[in-house]
């Protein structure tokens, strides 16, 4: 299979930004387009609307937004601060444009303005399934064993002893026949570095054990995989954890804020369902998946468990209802107040960044590779 040209299906809201590599190994850069990037910021503010009846007042309530903001917000805020003289003199419009271009258009590290997340998918095609699995297992072994791991089998050297480790191979003279003479001095230095590094591995392993970091084999999406587990340093939430939906609920972290809901919602809004994110005392990150003779991984897979679930409650960006109230003016004349308020929704319905989309991406890749 030519990985450089093979197309993989992405969920709605996700796009491929770039791809680099060869037929047997690629890094695919993908990004998620934030739904807020398609909405005029003015539509997310409180505003009065015209009414044909002088006794009827119409107001549209701002939508409490959720999750991580799109990159364009940073550009818009910085541009406004520069124009308003709130930035140091060296911050010119030209400097902002240069910074913005570097942030959003750097080759193979793109993060488009409409995105709230951009990350890499890595795929490697090995000679056979056995080599793929050993290569992936080495990824979990190296943090505690260094290069003292089995040679996967894709290193073809005449006379290579059985059960030789990567460390033994690099510290032997077997590779010297494959290295240009002008590089032999650098190779000797590398051998010395590897030797010294291997001496430190027992100490590194002990430190990781003290911190509770463990590497294990398991399964994900029906395939063999390796994981890194570490203690969750965040204390468990209280029995009723929820955040206020008043104002703007902008998320600063990967998964955004805890969803709004309950008694602290503005009175005209339908309260969101109480939502408690599942808590685990252990944080688990998948380091890679072995599928037939392929290894699938990358930073996007590592970030999977930190993303919010699709059923996380939020308010709709487009669906509303009218709340009517009878009021009296200072002369006691009855009037009508109509407030247009957003309806309850979920992250999945609104197109926010969610865990299930990333799961779908990797499941689609596995299905294609099989």
| Residue 203 is assigned to a structural domain of this protein | yes
H helices, E strands: number in the chain: 8, 11
| Residue 186 is assigned to a structural domain of this protein | yes
The range of the structural domain enclosing residue 148 comes to 127-211
pTM of the model: 0.80
What pLDDT, on a 0 to 100 scale, did the predictor assign at position 361?
98
**Chain CA centroid to CA 270, Å:** 30
Total tally of structural domains belonging to the chain: 1
| Residue 348 is assigned to a structural domain of this protein | no
Query: In the 8-state DSSP scheme, what is residue 172?
Result: S
Q: How far apart are CA 93 and CA 87, in angstroms?
A: 11
Q: How far apart are CA 331 and CA 19, in angstroms?
A: 69
| Residue 169 is assigned to a structural domain of this protein | yes
Q: How far apart are CA 110 and CA 105, in angstroms?
A: 5
Q: How far apart are CA 317 and CA 315, in angstroms?
A: 7
Q: How far apart are CA 293 and CA 166, in angstroms?
A: 21
Beta carbons of 232 and 212 less than 8 angstroms apart: no
Largest Cα–Cα distance of the chain, in whole Å?
102
| Residue 170 is assigned to a structural domain of this protein | yes
Distant-in-sequence contacts of 39-45, Cβ < 8 A, 24+ apart: 39/317, 41/76, 44/317
What pLDDT, on a 0 to 100 scale, did the predictor assign at position 262?
44
195-224 residue pLDDT tens:
888 888 888 888 888 999 999 999 999 999
Q: What residue ranges of the chain have pLDDT lower than 50?
A: 241-263
3 state SS of 342:
strand
| Residue 166 is assigned to a structural domain of this protein | yes
Distant-in-sequence contacts of 234-239, Cβ < 8 A, 24+ apart: 236/279, 236/281, 237/276, 237/277, 237/279
Phi-psi region of 164 (alpha: psi -120 to 50; beta: other; left: phi over 0): beta
| Cα-based distances in Å from 119 to 88, 109, 171 | 32, 8, 36
What pLDDT, on a 0 to 100 scale, did the predictor assign at position 54?
82
Beta carbons of 132 and 290 less than 8 angstroms apart: yes
Q: How far apart are CA 337 and CA 349, in angstroms?
A: 30
Please name the residues in contact with 293: beta carbons below 8 A apart, sequence gap of 6 or more. 125, 126, 127, 128, 129, 131, 132
Q: How far apart are CA 60 and CA 215, in angstroms?
A: 52
What pLDDT, on a 0 to 100 scale, did the predictor assign at position 159?
63
Phi-psi region of 159 (alpha: psi -120 to 50; beta: other; left: phi over 0): left
Reading the block at residue 143, the tokens are 């943090």
| Residue 157 is assigned to a structural domain of this protein | yes
| Residue 201 is assigned to a structural domain of this protein | yes
Q: How far apart are CA 68 and CA 243, in angstroms?
A: 16
């Amino acid at each position: 299979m030519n990985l450089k040209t093979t197309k993989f299906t992405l969920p709605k809201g996700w796009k491929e930004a770039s791809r680099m590599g060869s037929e047997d190994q690629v890094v695919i850069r993908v990004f998620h387009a934030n739904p807020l990037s398609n909405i005029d910021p003015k539509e997310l503010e409180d505003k009065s609307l015209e009414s044909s009846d002088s006794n009827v007042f119409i107001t549209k309530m701002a939508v409490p937004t959720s999750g991580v903001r799109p990159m364009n917000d940073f550009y818009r805020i910085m541009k406004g601060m520069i124009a308003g003289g709130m930035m140091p003199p060296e911050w010119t419009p030209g400097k902002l444009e240069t910074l913005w271009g570097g942030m959003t258009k750097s080759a193979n590290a793109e993060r488009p303005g409409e995105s709230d997340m951009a990350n890499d998918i890595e795929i490697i095609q090995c000679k056979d399934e056995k080599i793929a699995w050993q290569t992936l297992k080495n990824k979990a072994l190296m943090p505690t064993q260094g290069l003292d791991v089995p040679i996967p089998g894709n290193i073809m050297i005449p006379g290579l002893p059985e059960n030789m480790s990567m460390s033994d191979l690099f510290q032997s003279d077997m590779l010297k026949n494959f290295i240009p003479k002008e590089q032999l001095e650098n190779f000797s230095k590398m051998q010395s570095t590897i030797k010294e590094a291997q001496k430190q591995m027992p100490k590194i392993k002990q430190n990781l054990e003290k911190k509770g970091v463990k590497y294990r084999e398991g399964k994900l999406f029906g395939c063999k995989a390796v994981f890194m587990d570490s203690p969750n340093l965040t204390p468990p939430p209280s029995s009723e954890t929820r955040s206020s939906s008043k104002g703007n609920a902008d998320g600063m972290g990967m998964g955004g804020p805890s969803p709004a809901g309950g008694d602290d919602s503005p009175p005209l809004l339908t309260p969101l369902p109480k939502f408690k994110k599942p808590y685990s005392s252990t944080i688990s990150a998948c380091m890679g998946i072995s599928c037939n003779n392929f290894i699938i991984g990358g930073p996007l897979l590592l970030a999977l468990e930190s993303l919010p679930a699709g059923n996380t409650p939020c308010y709709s960006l487009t669906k509303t209802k009218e709340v009517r109230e009878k009021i009296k003016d200072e002369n006691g004349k009855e009037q009508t107040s109509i407030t247009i308020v957003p309806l309850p929704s979920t992250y999945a319905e609104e197109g926010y960044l969610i865990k299930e989309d990333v799961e779908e991406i990797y499941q689609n890749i596995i299905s294609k590779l099989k």
